[in-house]
Structure 1
């Protein structure tokens, strides 16, 4: 039996002449944290809405937790928590009242589920505050609380860190990691922030202009960024000759800087220093730099 929690094949969504999602296939295994990464407008939200049955695909199929997503197929959703775009809430009800209503709709009894999720999402100070008065970040917390009320096996989240301050982003990251590692919850999320994705996801799918252009294990992201050794010396030309004579390749020269990208230079910068000192032109600056993850992302989508 397949361990896939989500199987999407050839998902396509057209709105007239506009193709929002173009032939996307996703296979998410149980226990993964899978992130859809893309710029705003890349097709992430439309893809997630098709996974949840909120939007009917123009072509392709989706199965979630072994059940085909189609109109009238309700049984699977008791095991799924989700948050898509702006979190919905009854504006005149308090945080606690909103969660109580959501719990009743889920068939949950007693106060325990509501109290637990309020505490988990750190909403206790706002429990009796009306939803319409919440900040964007706390409204997002309320949406996440509703998604977690029934202790789902699968969480599908669209930009879960939206509106949160840096401390809140860390809290949500830690919460999702805890749910995944300690409770076995499979998480599928979308984001446009690669650095956050790299800290949390186990696998990343890059989506651009509606197409899934690449998938990569998160632990391989570091291998994809380009590293370089930047050397600054007062006698720029003499330093270049010395490094070439020592067998180093200089990829480019900029002002008083020499840029080396070969593996030996990056892994053994002390050998570079030795070669320059012995040639009588010691460096006054030596730095190993690497692309930030956003630069990697842009290389992928522009390839």
Structure 2
């Protein structure tokens, strides 16, 4: 069995009297694009700061590339690129000058490396432009370029698309997919934009109140997450009640937007259409929603519709 890139064993971190992480366990294998899912305050950023050595746990064990202990983790972190919160850039300097500064900090002497990372993140044409003139998306990409300077085998990215417009989000996803596919980079990425994370990740870890409550592959998500039949009708409350009576199903619900939701696994489509016709229920819209990461997470923590 290959050595995991990251292994967290019973990590606990306390701020004052509150647990940020509580007996936290995680395992990330080489080649994973690991989507880290959790509400604000669940402990995502705390874990990433522990990985980077910015904070230290009260107890538990962290292993990076199989190494542990103070000296081992220091060596392992040289193989990790970080983008945690906003990248630190000098606004009066251009992209090349910022990257030269970080090359000096990291001890990188390869003169071609700056051009390589600028190309990797699509900033070659903007290399001589001062970063004070960069858009938010360009600054995020330059932050990613800094994280790539030391040719990391593992990227740790905390909300890398936060605040980006749709084009910027798409560009960031393409860059990360290319890094994983062409260079074999393992990625740990958190994002509150779960629809976008679902397009990127190959594996998910769900954190709630400082604990990792489940790990699941993208394939398993598609198999286990619920699909929902949705109906739009002029009087959804009355229609839902008729459907409950004639289909003998109690888990038919009406969303806040007035859409009737029926779990697909409980429903035979032919029978549903027959009841709709027999009861004269007018249908203005009919859809089958795909398994949804947000719904899966909300169901997992008990926040979904019952």
TM-score by length of 1: 0.83
State the secondary structure of the residue aligned to 2:301: helix
Separation in 2, partners of 1:251, 1:103:
58
2:233–2:281 contact (8 Å) kept in structure 1: no
- 8 Å Cα contact 2:63/2:73 also seen in 1: no
2:188 aligned counterpart, secondary structure:
strand
Q: CA deviation at 1:98?
A: 0.9
In structure 1, the residue matched to 2:194 is 194
Establish whether residue 66 from structure 1 lines up as the match of residue 49 from structure 2.
no
Q: CA deviation at 1:49?
A: 0.8
Structure 2 partner of 1:180: 180
Is the 1:79–1:153 contact (alpha carbons within 8 Å) kept by the matching residues of 2? yes
Partner deviation per Cα, 1:170-191 (whole Å, 9 max, x = no partner): 1111111121122211111122
Flag the structure with larger Rg: 1
Aligned length: 295
Residues 20 and 43 in structure 1, CA contact (< 8 A), matched pair in contact too:
yes
1:225 is aligned to 226
Q: Is the CA contact (8 Å cut-off) linking 2:161 and 2:172 kept in structure 1?
A: yes
- Give the deviation of 1:8 after TM superposition: 0.8
> Structure 1 CA distance, aligned partners of 2:260 and 2:14?
50
Structure 1 residues 284-299: aligned runs within 5 Å: 284-285=283-284, 287-290=286-289, 293-299=293-299
Distance 1:220 1:75 in 2: 34
Instruction: Map 1:143-292 to 2 at 5 A.
Output: 143-222=143-222, 223-230=224-231, 232=233, 240=242, 244=246, 249=249, 251-252=251-252, 260-261=262-263, 263=265, 265=267, 269-274=269-274, 277=277, 279=278, 281=280, 283-285=282-284, 287-290=286-289
Q: Does the 8 A contact of 1:11 with 1:24 survive in 2?
A: yes
TM-score (ref. length: structure 2):
0.82
Post-superposition CA distance 1:29-66 (Å, at most 9, x none): 11111121112222111111111222111111111112
The two structures, once aligned, show a CA RMSD in angstroms of: 3.2
Query: Structure 1 residue 80 and structure 2 residue 80: aligned?
Result: yes
